[in-house]
Amino acid sequence: MAIYLSLNTGFKIPTLGFGTYMLKGDVLKSALDYALFLGYRHIDTALSYENEAAIGEVIRDRVHAGKLCRRDLFVTSKVPPAYLAYHAAVDSAKMSLDNLHLRYLDMLLIHQPWGLVNRGDGTLRPLDDKGQRELAIYNLNQTWQALEFLVSQGLVNSIGLSNFTTRQIDRIWKYAAIKPSNVQLECHSYLQQEQLEAYCSAKKIIISAYSPVGSPGKPDRKKDEPVLLEDPVVCDIAEELGKSPAQVLLNFLLQRNMVVIPKSSNAHHIDENFHVHDWSLTTDHKLAMKELDRSYRFFRFEWATCHPEFSDEHF
């Protein structure tokens, strides 16, 4: 299985990323430092995660110590929903670069198509007097134009989208001078995204799967939500192969030529997730895994359901 995939920009993206959503401070620094020690070379973050500065410290320290070369690292960040206006998008990328102590980003994504009000004070999730997020409408073509400008300035190598539907991706694709090279979205055995996968494959867009093992650490997880890591089919395959359920779930996506972005602060799980390239599921295993698809989302973005850019495809 490929350790790297080729983007339509000519750059290569590592197929195993280290997810950092909800990780902060010393917990993040310790986990990331260990991941880089093991050999992870793709870090996924976002301005809205509010953890870029901690990530930047780890990168800087490892580079200064001669333990890591910047050119061997692939860093992805994202433009937050309150920064979708042209100049705000440019500013957000520059903030990410400052936070990360980097001269360029390997990948910059528009985090979500659903805009939020920009108050001009750095608020990432503005709330109204009822405690609801303040939605705003932006011209996403102009947001994309800002990303293209960042590429022209050498501040970003490749650009893409996150949490966009097929129709939204196609809208950007038809407008874009620099085509999207990466789409990041929720994808796992319960949400296999085959229609979007077919579209992206035809356009040579690489898919990055977040929540690839079902987001077991999601803070607002409901009691009746299915636990993908405990699915009997997954567990039986794992036992047969002498692997963990998480490894089986990651391998299934990797064999579909996707990038996977598992997140963990647990050293054992970080190690386990790293060892997913040197073995493969059988055809029968993959057929059994394919039957698990139930179009189930762990992330529903209920705060955005009233936004004009929210569609039935997001449910």
| Binding site residue list for substrate | 111
CA–CA separation, 149 vs 97, rounded Å? Answer: 15
Residue 49 annotated among the catalytic residues of the structure: yes
Residue pair 74/13 in contact (Cβ under 8 Å)? The answer is: yes
Report d(CA 211, CA 236) in Å as an integer: 21
Rg of the Cα trace of the chain? 19
DSSP-derived letter for residue 67 is S
End-to-end CA distance of the chain: 31
Distance from C-alpha of 54 to C-alpha of 56, rounded to nearest angstrom: 5
Q: DSSP 3-state assignment of 206? A: strand
DSSP 266: -
119 contacts 140 by C-beta, under 8 angstroms: no
DSSP secondary structure letters along 112-180: -SSEE---SS--SS-B-TTS-B-EE---HHHHHHHHHHHHHTTSEEEEEEES--HHHHHHHHHH-SSPP
Q: Collapsing DSSP states into helix, strand and coil, what is residue 43? A: strand
- Which residues of the chain form beta strands (DSSP E)? 4-6, 12-14, 18-19, 42-44, 74-79, 105-110, 115-116, 135-136, 156-162, 182-186, 206-210, 259-261
The residue type found at 153 is Q
Question: Residue holding tokens 């990797």?
Answer: 254
Q: Please enumerate, by residue number, every residue annotated as part of a binding site.
A: 111
Quote the DSSP letter at residue 9.
T
Among 4, 34, 40, 49, the one annotated catalytic: 49
Closest residue by Cα to residue 138 from 92, 99, 204, 77: 92
Q: Would you name the residues annotated as active-site residues?
A: 49
